[in-house]
């Protein structure tokens, strides 16, 4: 059986259905690239627009001034400090409780109806609009518990708001830890708790940190829920206790955007820049932490 070999100049040329399939495949690359670019382009356009409008307002006094009716004297001082308080407290509440919940669900919970019930609720809670958490916070923390419109009430509200997403992210991270690690640990005589504490958690930590940070970015930008629980807008003192009234950066930005004067728009853009920088810093910190724990 003599096979006629193609000569040197032969190139494989698909025809018919094969050619069509290949064309679709080539086109799909571009379509997918285009789809990915939409988000990037929009974010880029937003950033450029915000920087163009707001950059000139970024100065030291913008951080050291309290709100004012004069746009050029208004600053982020009280809202920046308020945001730091609120977010710090929220982290303190959410991290231990979210991790504990996730560990229970993934490692300890018997596979009963109760577990299914908890899981179902968490999944649903993650999709509840933030204003609902605001109403809940107002009814429970502000009024029932009598905490008033304080930093404590605000951070508890945000804690509840981001708890479901944080738990779900932590669950995912815990599930990524290979079962062989657990089996090895248990085989060597470690208790379940020791296994979780020394093997599962350290392995899951990078994923948990990512989840916490993403949830925190949502909390950092939250406005509606906090206005609902009675956060103020004009605050002219530095927060020193969890019982203080407070305002946060997104509330301040919102206030500035609804003002008719152009100069307040610039303040709003500058406020957005600061807010984005804070969130970006969180993300970078998370990436750094993640790398550290991974090694």
By CB under 8 A, name the binding residues for another protein. Answer: 66-69, 89, 92-93, 95-97, 142-143, 145-149, 152, 197-198, 202, 205, 227-228, 230-237, 242-243, 245, 247, 255, 257-262, 292-293
Other Cβ atoms within 10 Å of 193 Cβ, number? 11
Provide the Cα torsion 53, 58, 63, 64; round to 10°: -110
| Contact between residue 103 and residue 115 where contact means Cβ atoms under 8 Å apart | no
Q: Token match 């930093």: residue?
A: 151
Please report, for residues 37, 62, 168, 224, 276, the alpha-carbon distance to residue 211 in angstroms, rounded to integers and kept in the order given. 24, 32, 8, 22, 18
Supply the minimum distance, in Å, between the C-beta of residue 287 and another protein.
17
Q: Which residues contact 138 (CB under 8 A, 6 or more apart)?
A: 228, 229, 230
Supply the minimum distance, in Å, between the C-beta of residue 14 and another protein.
54
Nearer to another protein, 166 or 247 (CB): 247
Nearer to another protein, 59 or 88 (CB): 88
Supply the minimum distance, in Å, between the C-beta of residue 81 and another protein.
14
Supply the minimum distance, in Å, between the C-beta of residue 34 and another protein.
31
DSSP 65: P
Distance between CA atoms of residues 90 and 75, nearest Å:
24
| Contact between residue 90 and residue 226 where contact means Cβ atoms under 8 Å apart | no
Supply the minimum distance, in Å, between the C-beta of residue 169 and another protein.
17
Supply the minimum distance, in Å, between the C-beta of residue 277 and another protein.
25
Backbone φ and ψ for 166, nearest 5 degrees, come out as -70, -40
Nearer to another protein, 63 or 145 (CB): 145
Nearer to another protein, 34 or 96 (CB): 96
Nearer to another protein, 5 or 167 (CB): 167
Supply the minimum distance, in Å, between the C-beta of residue 183 and another protein.
20
Q: What is the torsional sign of CA 10, 11, 17, 20?
A: negative
| Contact between residue 252 and residue 186 where contact means Cβ atoms under 8 Å apart | no
Nearer to another protein, 34 or 202 (CB): 202
Nearer to another protein, 136 or 142 (CB): 142
Residue 148, sorted as left (phi over 0), alpha (psi -120 to 50) or beta, turns out to be: left
């Amino acid at each position: 059986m003599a096979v006629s070999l193609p000569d040197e100049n032969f190139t494989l040329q698909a025809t018919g259905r094969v050619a069509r399939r290949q064309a679709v495949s080539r086109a799909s690359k571009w379509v997918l690239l285009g789809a990915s670019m939409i988000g990037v382009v929009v974010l880029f356009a937003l950033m450029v627009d915000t920087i163009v409008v707001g950059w000139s307002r970024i100065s030291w006094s913008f951080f050291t001034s309290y709100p004012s009716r004069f746009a050029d004297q208004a600053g982020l001082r009280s809202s920046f400090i308020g945001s730091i308080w609120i977010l710090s407290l929220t982290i303190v509440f959410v991290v231990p409780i979210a991790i504990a919940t996730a560990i229970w669900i993934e490692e300890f919970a018997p596979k009963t109806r109760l577990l299914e019930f908890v899981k179902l609720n968490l999944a649903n809670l993650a999709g509840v609009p933030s204003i609902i958490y605001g109403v809940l916070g107002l009814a429970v923390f502000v009024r029932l518990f009598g905490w008033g419109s304080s930093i404590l009430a605000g951070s508890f509200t945000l804690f509840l708001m981001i708890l479901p997403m944080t738990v779900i992210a932590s669950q995912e991270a815990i599930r990524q830890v290979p079962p062989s690690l657990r089996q090895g640990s248990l085989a060597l005589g470690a208790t379940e708790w020791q296994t979780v504490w020394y093997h599962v958690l350290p392995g899951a930590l990078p994923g948990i940190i990512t989840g916490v940070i993403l949830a925190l970015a949502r909390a950092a930008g939250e406005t509606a829920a906090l206005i609902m629980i009675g956060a103020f807008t004009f605050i002219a003192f530095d927060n020193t206790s969890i019982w203080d009234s407070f305002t946060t950066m997104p509330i301040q930005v919102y206030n500035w955007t609804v003002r008719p004067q152009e100069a307040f728009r610039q303040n709003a853009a500058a406020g957005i820049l600061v807010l984005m920088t804070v969130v970006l810093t969180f993300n970078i910190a998370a990436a750094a932490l993640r790398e550290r724990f991974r090694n």
